[in-house]
Amino acid sequence: MALTAAPERAAHGSRIRTDEPFHSFHIMDNKMTLLQHQLDALKSASAMAETSSRNTATRRRRQSAAISMNSTAAEIRRTAARLARLYQARHQPFGVKTFRVLDMRTRDVQRGINAVTKARTRNATNRAVKKLDQSVVSLVVQFQAASGGYGATRCTPGAWTCCDPKRSKDLHESEQVACIWKCVQTPKTCTGFLGPHIQ
């Protein structure tokens, strides 16, 4: 079965992929894994910087780790913002909300990275690292809430994949919005936002 949909174009005329958001979910999943590895590197570099405060090399290592992590977060934000624009154009508000939430969670991560690099005492560094760690966990949880199960969705030819919004009372801690991925026969019956069309 192929994931296809009617060709779409963005406002500026560029062609939009027809396998969204699944294509971007795959990219973002890899970026989430990378972000967590980079967080470990930043934690290590921050610990070394505090124990060797006069060592320029350790401070540079922390700065380098922060730059790498911030770059990954920026890529996640760009992807989330692009998907939010896509669903804005499709007039599917839940899609807009879902990806704006991911954008906001990633922005919190970037703020946390900045706080770690600005910390000048051991206590300040520890507090900043702990808050950053929480921000990354919150982002990953929210991403999993939106994308979880999409890869296992199996629809018959002609059907559409659909994010069905999870009820508020069923949301887990740290989840602001969440999807239950399923198949629908017509786009009108999708109460959340559409994924690829199966042919």
pLDDT at position 11: 42
Q: CA 4 → CA 11, 21, 50, 61, 163, distances in Å?
A: 21, 12, 52, 45, 16
Domains and CATH numbers, the chain: 19-150 (1.20.1440)
Global pTM value: 0.87
pLDDT attached to residue 2? 42
Alpha helices in the chain (DSSP H): 22-51, 56-89, 93-118, 122-147
For residue 179, pLDDT over 70 is answered with yes
**Residue 163 predicted with pLDDT over 90:** yes
Closest CA to 132 of 69, 178, 71: 69
Measured between alpha carbons, how far is 84 from 96 in angstroms, rounded to an integer? 4
Q: Is 130:119 a contact under the CB 8 Å cutoff? A: no
Mean pLDDT, rounded, for 66-88: 97
